[in-house]
Structure 1
Amino acid sequence: MRVFTDDTGTPRSMPMVDDNGHPVYNPEAQAARDALIEKLCAMPPIMSALDALLEHFGHDNVAEVTGRTKRLISASDGRQKLESRSARTSRADAAAFMAGNKRILVFSDAGGTGRSYHASLDAANQEQRVHLLLEPGWRADRAIQGLGRTHRTHQATTPLFRPVTTDCKGELRFTSTIARRLDSLGALTRGQRQTGGQGLFDPADNLESEYARAALLSWFDLLAMGKLTSVTLDDFQHRTGLELVDKDGVLKDEMPPIQRWLNRILALPIALQNTIFDEFLALIETRVSAAREAGRLDVGVETIMVDKATLIEDSVLRTDPLTGATSHLLTIEIARRRNPVSLDRILRIADGDGSAAFMINHKSGKVALRTRARALMEEKEGTPIPRVEMMRPTRSDYMREHDLFESSWEEVDRQAFSAIWSTEVEAARQIVESETVRLATGLLLPIWSALPSDHLAVNRIVDAEGRSWLGRLVFDDHVPQLYTKLGIDCAGALPVEAVAKAVTAGRTIDISRPFALTIRRSLVNGSPRIELAGAPHDRLPWLKSIGCFTEVIQYRTRVFVPMGSAEAVLGLLLA
């Protein structure tokens, strides 16, 4: 390149040519290019994933169902030969896998059309499928179609789906896109909030969710305040070309969208990518954990598998005047056995995690496997909050590291852990849990605002006979408020215990029998009370006769129900 100065005195460059107009090449650059080509040609080629699997396990053990017509295979003497393939060859490989003659199956979009590879009860190979999703692609419908190949009806076991990624955190960008499109596809094709991913991805995996967008704004704030350890503001702007601050050094009101930010992150060095993503994912996890604990996390449809479900009561909440569609509140009694994690599986998890440790609670005698969990982040200071996951036979708990040190948990040897874990698993399998749940189902959109706002999950209850009910769970203390909002008299529709529990929890209930009044919780002189607001003055003697008492507060007579005998008094009132 030739450097020259323009009319404004700014140095610029342009391609250099000789006197005849031919370009002049830099011999040092040419020599460096030739040396690089020579080095690359001397390095062994990187095999594709398909060829690497065939090379590692052998073509006699791997069934290939793809669209390619030729492939290189290694013979027994080590030499390679070119093998021609046809549709008949793919069918033979698929049949060999279903018969159990080949333990591994590799299939693609081109070779998997119209095929089923599930653990069919009619097939000889009924082993559990472990479906490794290696290349999900960009089309969510194709991803669902591929996942459905190994998950069908009339199967012996359900498959395990395992998305495969490298340790480059930037690859989460592509996994996140698949997660978002699977969720969107489920909402569009099913007309309900059941995600197309079927729970394959955690809400924290979707880097384009509302939690991720809020976390990105916090990341920008921490970056501007210089509280991130990964990168500085000036360095980040220089590397990515994103302008985050105005001429006065203040963060702009319109920040880059998360899609653009993610795309620019992919251009950074791998180590820097991973550090930035660790901070960003910690902020997302903080928000998702808070939403999950508060009951506001929308995870689509959660399927509750039970052994037995009995429909006890079906109450009609609303009937649409135009279509005649109805909304129902179902009372279902469910019974289910616990499905604890087996000892073999927990030991495999421990052996595959170098940071795992066997723990025992010296107070309760229970054991848990401690593994490292994704850290949280303090949003104001950007300080990471390390966490651990305590895996129990029937559940997993998350604890902050400093809370773990102050708890009763301590390390134990593998042999003692295995013995106690096996005992807990056997005890858990003998427990049959029975409970009564209420499910709002049917036409829910007109009554959506009347349903509880602090529990947004949509659930499907499925019993062993294949019967299912889809709707939103409604807890006991929410039922009176639901009836009140819909104008339904709850005096005869609800048990007295539910009314008392709801009022004690702070719900307000309007009744019309034996006369119109409002049952609510009030605070008098710092102590909670149950008040009957709006009671007629001529019914005060009767209310006192069933156990109520009155007080004149600020020249107004107020009627209260004794807290100790609330259920008995409310029972007489609603009777």
Structure 2
Amino acid sequence: MKVIWSLKLTLLTILMILMMSSRYVRYAVGKMKKLLHCSECDKLFHPDCVVPPVIDLPSEAWICFSCKEKTEEYIQARRLYIAELQKRYEAALERKSKIIEIIRSLNLPNNPLDDIVDQLGGPEKVAEMTGRRGMLVRASNGKGVTYQARNTKDITMEMVNMHEKQLFMDGKKLVAIISEAGSAGVSLQADRRAVNQKRRVHLTLELPWSADRAIQQFGRTHRSNQTSAPEYRLLFTNLGGERRFASIVAKRLETLGALTQGDRRAGPSGPSLSAYNYDSNFGKKSLMVMYRGIMEQEKLPVLPPGCSIDEPETVKEFLTKARAALVAVGIVRDSVLANGKDVGRFSGRIIDSDMHDVGRFLNRLLGLPPDIQNRLFELFTSILDVLVHNARIEGSFDSGIVDMKANSVELLSTPKTVHVDQMSGASTMLFTFTLDRGVTWESASSMLEGKRRDGLGSANDGFFESKREWLGRRHFILAFESAASGLFKIVRPAVGESIREMSLSELKTKYRKLSSLEKARTGWEDEYEVSSKQCMHGPKCKLGEYCTVGRRIQEVNVVGGLILPIWGTIEKALSKQARHSHKRIRVIRIETTTDNQRIVGLSIPNAAVETVLQDLAWVQEIDD
């Protein structure tokens, strides 16, 4: 009975709980229907919870107490702000639509290769040896282009390049375009067995990164059994960074010394490739000097391009731009602005591997705007010229076989036999030449008039006078702009055309242009006469007649003939000289202007001739 009563009580309790819960739910649902809704903040409030409590629900829009405290100005400003955002959004959307329309209306540029082929006469006139399967040709009606496959029914894709090559060699097509992909095993030289034996003109429109590949491409038109050698023309822009392509090819070609300077028949007429080989020992040293100067660790040995000595702020401005450019291309790393006492001072570093990496410097230049790119490259080459010039003066510059150039080269006397080899009977001869390197006023005037007559001159061409005096005298030069480099070639009365070219900024910094031709003529002729008797250091030069710096007429002694057996003797004799530049052996090539006689041998400084002859005579006595 107790169990039954306990079960009844439990059931009764559960029933009462369910009845109370249903009443609470009905009450809550009823209350939810009576919640107040704020029209400003979108929040819900119970009528009994607001102050003061709301008894009757409002029939219109209701605003809570917090929103009522906000002023009407705030609400108006908020609405205006939202309207402004909407206006900006619509304007941006309109600009976006216009940009999309402009992009859709743009025409793609012509394919460079197809454009060249079209300008040269079309596929009927040009033999193409590339890896392309098709090309864009001008439509028959002259409007637009059409796609055309390179192969035909009779010629497979694998044989189309060989077919094009044969058309070129047979003379049916006089222009050939080759690429690395489609020129493997192709010979295009002026072969004696071919119909087309015209001289080849090889234009390289895009120099490859690898010098070996460039040499391989050059070999396509220069092979055995040819009627004439090809003419090579390397094309590149005047942008500083693009000089990298010429630099690597020039460096590789210079290693082929037998082609360029290993024989007296090579002659001085060939172009010097060293002018484009920046990746040399002097180039690496120049790069390090430039980096240290830009980072203000050392003073720059030259004035930066576009700067003036009278305006130091121009130099600071250039250094700031140069550092920013080097940071932009990743050469200067960890760049920050120091805090504390040196506010605004630049801080950064260039790792050791980049300090001498000329290739990386030229490569990174390509990523800079043309203005700072050219100014950095001009600064680099100016420092290189200074270092090479100093090395020449000190006698430490190794340029291989040096061509002695002058307006007049004459053999002074009959060559003298200074040594005879007992084994072979071959003799060693001493040649003495007289060189006149000067340029007369008439020749200089003719050079300037010729430039102007041919339309190659510029407004800055003319005669200039140095702003500073040297030993009480001012120097005169002729400067004219080079069409190839954009720099100015310098011609001096005493030594003729200078190897180093000047930028316009450097020219105006050091010289002033003369408007009076009479003054230019007087100064030119005076310097021409004085330089025939003394060097530029004046009559009190310590070396006296042995100094040739700035001397117009000089005497050159060359030991030619059998050289190797007496090389050590000459080297030992030169090592006894007091001046460092006289201790180094130089191999030179010289050609007389009267009978075109060429001599290749060792240059003997005038101060060392007697010592060398004495040592050679002593060696001859021992051999006898």
For the structure 1 residues 318 and 237, does the alpha-carbon distance in structure 2 shift closer, same or farther, using more than 3 Å as the test? farther
How far off is 1:142 after superposition?
4.6
Q: How far is 1:180 from its partner?
A: 1.8
Q: 1:175 Cα shift? A: 1.9
The residue that corresponds to 1:256 in the other structure is: 355
Distance 1:52 1:123 in 2: 25
Q: Which residue in 1 is equivalent to 2:603?
A: 473
**What is the aligned partner in structure 2 of residue 284 from structure 1?**
384
Aligned length: 414
Please give the TM-score of this superposition, normalised by the length of structure 1: 0.52
Paired position in structure 2 for 1:438 = 558
Tell me the equivalent position of 1:174.
245
Cα offsets for 1:237-266 (capped at 9, x unmatched): 643253499999697894732244444444
Distance 1:456 1:331, change over 3 A: closer
TM-score by length of 2: 0.48
Identity %: 21
Indicate conservation of the 8 Å contact 1:299/1:457, yes or no.
no
- For 2:349 and 2:422, locate their aligned partners in 1 and report how far apart those are by CA, in whole Å: 50
Three-state SS of the structure 2 residue aligned to 1:405 is strand
Distance 2:557 2:432 in 1: 5
Find the structure with the greater CA-based Rg: 2
- Bigger helix fraction: 2
Counterpart for residue 351 of structure 1: 455
* Inter-partner Cα distance in structure 1 for 2:368 and 2:464: 43
User: 1:158-307 to 2 correspondence within 5 Å?
Assistant: 161-186=232-257, 200-201=271-272, 203-225=274-296, 227=315, 229-232=317-320, 235=324, 238-239=327-328, 240-243=330-333, 254=352, 256-259=355-358, 260-291=360-391, 297-302=397-402
SS in 1 for 2:455: helix
Rounded Cα–Cα distance in structure 2 between residues aligned with 1:70 and 1:349: 49
Greater strand proportion: 1
SS of 1:472's partner is strand
Decide whether the 8 Å contact of 1:131 with 1:150 is kept in 2: yes
CA contact (8 A) 1:291 1:297 kept: yes
Q: Secondary structure at the match of 1:45?
A: coil
2:121 pairs, out of 41, 47, 58, with: 58
2:166 aligned with 1:91: yes
Secondary structure in 2 matching 1:96 = coil
Aligned to 1:136: 207
Distance in structure 1 (CA, Å) of the matches to 2:231 and 2:316:
38
Question: 5+ unaligned residues in a row in structure 2: which ranges?
Answer: 1-91, 152-159, 298-314, 466-475, 519-552, 575-581
Matches within 5 A, 1:399-418: 400-401=507-508, 404-405=511-512, 410=517
Which of 477, 481, 506 is the matching residue for 1:371?
481
Give 1:436 deviation, angstroms. 8.5
Q: Which moved more, 1:327-336 or 1:212-221?
A: 327-336
Superimposed CA distance per residue, residues 214-254 of structure 1 (whole angstroms, 9 cap, x where no aligned partner): 22232123213394544438635643253499999697894
Cα 1:179–1:51, aligned 2, differ >3 Å: closer, same or farther? same
Equivalent residue, structure 1, for 2:544: none
* Superposed displacement of residue 88, structure 1: 3.3
SS at match of 2:601: strand
Distance 1:66 1:308, change over 3 A: farther
Structure 1 residues 399-426: Cα deviation after superposition (integer angstroms, max 9, x where no partner) = 8446653768749xxxxxxxxxxxxxxx
Between the aligned partners of 2:226 and 2:412, the Cα distance in structure 1 is 26
Q: Is the deviation greater in 396-405 or in 282-291?
A: 396-405
Q: CA deviation at 1:87?
A: 1.7
Structure 1 gap segments, 5+ residues each: 1-27, 376-385, 412-432, 494-510, 513-575
Larger CA deviation: 464-473 vs 176-185:
464-473
Bigger mean CA deviation after superposition, 299-308 or 440-449: 299-308
- Note closer, same or farther for the CA distance 1:301–1:194 as it changes in structure 2 (3 Å cut): farther
Does 1:116 pair with 2:189?
Answer: yes
Q: Is the 8 A contact 1:373 1:387 kept in 2?
A: no
Residue identity in the other structure for 1:218 = V
**Is the 1:211–1:287 Cα contact (8 Å) retained in structure 2?**
yes
Change in 2 beyond 3 A, CA 1:349/1:390: farther
Aligned pair in 2 of structure 1 residues 487, 344: CA closer, same or farther (>3 Å)?
Answer: closer
The answer for the alignment partner of 1:396 in structure 2 is: 497
Q: CA deviation at 1:482?
A: 2.6
DSSP-derived class of the 1:116 partner = coil
Specify whether residues 459 and 266 from structure 1 end up closer, same or farther in structure 2 by C-alpha distance, changes over 3 A only.
Answer: same
Question: Aligned to 2:255, what secondary structure does the other structure show?
Answer: helix
